Amino acid sequence: MVVKTLHDKGLRSEHCYTAAFASIGLTVLSWAGSLQAEEKGLARADRWGIFVGEWAPTFFGLGLALAKYED
């Protein structure tokens, strides 16, 4: 039902795959940026990288669900 609603609103699997790959790049950037900007050090930077890194599997999964729906 959620996948059908997203598909009807114009979201396609390619959009989700693009978002997944972008989030992988954003993971590296957020980790590096947090490492430089935060005074908390490596532990805080790692947490930022992990937080953003968890988005990629979600987008890939949604992309797969949409691709299956598009067939």
Task: Give the model confidence (pLDDT) of 5-58 as tens digits.
Answer: 999 999 999 999 999 999 999 888 887 777 776 666 667 777 777 888 899 999
Neighbouring residues of 21: CB distance < 8 A, sequence distance ≥ 6: 56
41: left (phi over 0), alpha (psi -120 to 50) or beta: left
pLDDT confidence of residue 38: 64
Cβ atoms of 16 and 59 within 8 Å: the answer is: yes
Quick one: pLDDT band at residue 66, thresholds 50, 70, 90? very high
- CB of 47 closer than 8 Å to CB of 30: no
What's the whole-model pTM score? 0.80
Residue 13 is predicted with a pLDDT of: 97
pLDDT score recorded for residue 71: 77
